[in-house]
Structure 1
């Protein structure tokens, strides 16, 4: 009997609490405005799985576009308080609102604290749904727009009683602002509908479609082989989508290299638009920022999965040089980097072949990338983007100017933009457009000129040394059987803000068909050493301009002399190594006994040879220096005729 009495007492207590809870819910529910009522209805569906269990959880909910996030904030607190009457632990739940004013780092830190047992994160936009919040959350939900069913439930909660499906559909067709104004307590449903019909929504003036200035590959200039490859890819993808071409016949990857600001990211966007496919953007730095090795690999796989889900697509991976050659890895981070490269190889190959996904890797340093990533089926093509030439700069300026300065000649700004990247040109046009906008007038040519940084003049004696150096290359180039000389140019000023600046250049073109013997490479090295040689002949010593970076004359000559010995069997041995990168060749010179001495001997021999040639042609060198300083550009024919003329004059005097 005691047991039965106790059982009856517990049941009565439960009923009492249930009645109290119901009374509280009914009383409190009527006090909320419509927006909060609808938020309670929608949010309760998301929170139902977790609010009934006393455990740790983090729930993230993205509110409907255009809704008031603070209505959801009020709804979340009300639901927590309601559940807290059943279980006091519920009241330990934190509610965090994330909109444009929020600090995401503080949000993540707050919800990671051990003292926060439970958290509800409300996002005003899916843009705030970062990988960190996804990792942190037990539940991630996008709350849909309010429906007629939600309106019916809210009407009951507010005391309007049951409304018909037709009425609910009509009310749901109204925007929430008008609906919140009309649904007031004490007003009948019929009166609400009448008011909404008497004062219909004003006709909205259609907003003009935003102008899309995203270029296609046809709009781009200065991309050389990369543009050709991209246009061919667009054709192949169209054939693949039509079922006329198997995926195995489509190029699936490209390594894009070039100096900063040359337009690698713009190229990827233009390629995706040209091909009519989706663009998924990723970067090694973004993957690494997600956390430890496991987090990075998950982020990497997630972007590949997104690209596959949105196929056909272009997956653009920036900072691709973050995946270095595994053979060169040393130190504590070697194991980490090997696993990262292995993880990338795994997703590049893909169990299903990643059909429909073309991967574009962008880098400033193509030489350091692991070669396995560049094999067929992966990033099998490599296109280097050069600095834009005169024709390309005209096209880039015209593209960014759009309808401005159509009838104006751009010769003055084109000439002063030597060494600029596409990003430099875009910045100049943007600055010029800002000047005109501030004065409320159309853009003028002077705006462009004012927006260009002042050029630094080169002192005459320094410019003469530049001319001597470049003519040394040119004269030796026309007298030995190496590459074909095209022209020699010098600049009397330079832009210190440009991405790259060059005061002089001797342009050579490799012949389409040439037998590359040891003599050919010795001649080529002699031409490379001839700039230094000319300075030594005229001034008695040489400057540092011929060495110190990858594309410097002496550095290229050193690598060629090394490969002559170990790669092409032009030295004392007939064994061959496959090395071709500067870093590998430098390591071989240190490790392989006698190699450094052989390379040094080759370089000194060709330097002395170049000095001898230029000493014999000193008169031509001096005459051409004066002419180049005056005209700033000489052709190969100018050089050849001057050398022949001085040779005939010398022969006549000595003959």
Structure 2
């Protein structure tokens, strides 16, 4: 027996949020006519600031439901879109051709497009309401996100649906979607150009940035040679990608690069271009930014949030079409740079793994530089730069140690506040002014300080015992800033070699090193603290993701099938949906935890000795750890020989 199709509540996991929401509002408005099973023509005004194409796709999906559910013949239907991009003089002709259609939905983007001819033809004329939180909850549930919280639904309903659709990727928790949208709020202004910059540091003045700085200085020379006609445009790099955590100075790099190159700076981002309106408006804004850079060449075109354009290989549903059109337009603009002499593109991202691979090919963003947060020496240099002639010859080590994790912008703000305090006191600046301008530091209790030392020394000792990355140093903090931010109270710093054969043993060793902090705490205290897990950069989380990638990415597990995507949310979803995968990951973690515990137990004396030294000095170099471990090994070998 054939069941009656559910025409007014269709469900498809393949539809993106924008279409799902449009489907909810269309179903509600057309429900009486769909239930009657009769012919109708509906003229509907879509909400302002929405993409009419999403409503068109939803209407097509809605009217095509009988055909999908294999009702004999289905209904002969049509969906017509009338907006600024469709020629108005052809509207009558388009409507006249619909007299044989049983069901017709005509979508308009403004009231003036409701022509007399359309009013004569329509059985129902209405206005679709903008999406509300209830619509968002229904759409999210249909997409497989489950029952989302009211506050999350209200937040999403207040956002631009195209941005929300970009964030709501299959397998990504709704909490992460909300966090992404809050982290990257819409930017109202569109692209802007800064010409003939004279203020601010040049790249030569900035400390840090490593290979990216070297590349930038070479680019400055190349552009100077281009002006002097010593080289042609074909001899110059066209673009780079900068990746690194928020606050690492990617935007500052682009500004300083433009000054060093004596070039204009044009700034854009996916968010700023999306703020221009619908898909067509976004693409126009994007192309306008490239044209602006060409007009003011030589120019640096800085594109922030480069990962926001998405990846065509992972986009699904309606988002796949949107993502494809955006990236194709971006590729067209990047390739056009070959004819636009003097324009260099600098992309910036916090998530390089989410970028479409085609954007990173030669001739586009052909080089990738990772920008780390400033280390001790770099922060000292940054303080000296912003201080200028003030505090010359003064010891800033205490100031630098308390600025762990700070960006260059945070250091500039601190110097500015300290200078203001000295000015108010009508005297020259003192080191104490810098310290006063910093958040209050709270001493870490001695027992917690020793626990941190034991934990970090577990990482360091195992890093010496197994073959993986090279240990540089290990350190702990004696105090923490009185802020709400997550802070690193200690670290064992390793360096990845330029050429490393990364086998299953290499990754297993890395997992063991990550788990060695927990193992060390358990050996000394009988248990470990909560700092080892609970956030993406925590030891347990990193080890879990690495163990998962052993199974699904590099072919070291039970299957040779490889999954390219490796961002944490995706790996988490894979584990939640594949119990057998979770079992294998747990086995790997247990095995490496037992291994790390066994090795550290054999070196317990040196573990506790080095932990005390770390508490005393705050930092130990790799050579100090290596010598202590080697000495302990010799002692153990001598003891075993005597027993034998």
Q: In structure 2, what is the Cα distance between the partners aligned to 1:344 and 1:492?
A: 48
TM-score of the two chains, using structure 2 as the length reference: 0.64
Question: Do the aligned partners of 2:337 and 2:343 also contact (CA within 8 Å) in 1?
Answer: no
What's the counterpart of residue 247 of structure 1?
233
1:551-562 aligned at under 5 Å gives the runs 551-562=537-548
CA contact (8 A) 2:353 2:566 kept: no
Matched, 1:413 2:412: no
1:372 pairs with one of 349, 354, 358: 358
Q: Residue deviations 1:497-521, cap 9 Å, x none?
A: 4976311111222345544333222
Among 391, 400, 424, the residue aligned to 1:438: 424
Distance 2:595 2:189 in 1: 62
Q: Does 1:355 align with 2:341?
A: yes
1:595 alignment partner in structure 2: 581
The reply to whether residue 404 of structure 1 matches residue 390 of structure 2 is: yes
Q: C-alpha displacement at 1:581, in angstroms?
A: 4.1
Query: How far did residue 576 of structure 1 move?
Result: 4.5
Q: 1:614 aligns with which of 591, 600, 606?
A: 600
1:382 Cα shift? 1.9
Quote the residue 2:511 is aligned against: 525
Residue 321 of structure 1: CA displacement? 2.9
- Is 1:267 the counterpart of 2:253 in the alignment? yes
- Say whether residues 1:489 and 2:475 are aligned partners: yes
1:428 alignment partner in structure 2: 414
Q: Which residue of 2 aligns with 1:225?
A: 211
The one of 532, 536, 539 equivalent to 2:525 is: 539
Instruction: Measure the CA separation in 2 of the matches of 1:213 and 1:289.
Output: 29
CA shift, 1:359, in A, is 1.0
- In structure 2, the CA distance between the partners of 1:591 and 1:249, relative to structure 1 (3 Å rule), is farther
- Indicate whether 1:629 and 2:615 are aligned: yes
**1:466 CA drift (Å):** 1.2
Is 2:294–2:342's contact at 8 Å kept on the other side of the alignment?
A: yes
| Cα distance in 2 for residues equivalent to 1:352 and 1:474 | 49
Unaligned runs of 5+ in 1: 1-129, 133-209
3-state SS, counterpart of residue 328 of structure 1: coil
Partner of 1:281 in structure 2? Answer: 267
Distance in structure 1 (CA, Å) of the matches to 2:502 and 2:307: 32
SS at match of 1:571: coil
Aligned partner of residue 364 in structure 2, secondary structure: coil
1:323–1:413 distance in 2 versus 1, CA, 3 Å: same
Structure with the larger RCO, 1 or 2 (CA within 8 Å, 6+ apart): 2
Contact 1:222/1:387 (8 A) holds in 2: no
- Is contact 1:260-1:499 (8 Å) kept? no
Give me the whole-angstrom Cα distance separating, in 2, the residues matched to 1:225 and 1:611.
38
Mapped partners of 2:356, 2:316: distance in 1: 14
TM-score scaled by structure 1? 0.63
Shift in CA distance, 456/586, structure 1 to aligned 2, threshold 3 Å: same
Contact conserved, 2:311 with 2:323, CA < 8 A, in 1?
no
Aligned residue runs from structure 1 range 446-595, under 5 A? 446-497=432-483, 501-574=487-560, 576-586=562-572, 589=575, 594-595=580-581
- The Cα of 1:368 is off from its aligned counterpart by 2.5
3-state SS of paired residue (1:551)? coil
488-497 or 515-524, larger mean C-alpha shift: 515-524
Q: Could you tell me whether the CA contact under 8 Å between 2:307 and 2:352 is conserved in 1?
A: yes
Alpha-carbon distance in structure 2 between the residues aligned to 1:213 and 1:596: 54
Tell me the SS of whatever aligns to 2:313: helix
User: Compared with structure 1, are the counterparts of its residues 391 and 294 closer, same or farther at alpha carbon in structure 2 (3 Å cutoff)?
Assistant: same
d(CA) in 1 for partners of 2:539 and 2:208? 25
Shift of 1:450: 1.7
Count of paired positions: 449
Moved over 6 A (4+): none
Once residues 293 and 299 of structure 1 are traced to their aligned partners in structure 2, the CA distance between those partners, rounded to angstroms, is 10
CA RMSD in angstroms, aligned pairs only: 2.9
- Once the two structures are TM-superposed, the CA of residue 284 in structure 1 deviates from its matched residue by 2.5
Aligned to 1:76: none
- Residues 376 and 580 from structure 1, CA distance in 2 versus in 1: closer, same or farther, beyond 3 angstroms? farther
Cα distance, 1:405 vs structure 2: 2.0
SS of residue in 1 equivalent to 2:297: coil
Cα deviation 1:285-342 (Å, max 9, x = unaligned) = 3222222222222221111111111112111122323212233335665544443333
Taking a change above 3 Å as real, the CA distance of residues 406 and 640 of structure 1, as seen in their structure-2 partners, is closer
> Match for 1:236 among 222, 233, 236?
222
Provide the rounded CA distance (Å) in 2 between the counterparts of 1:497 and 1:378: 41
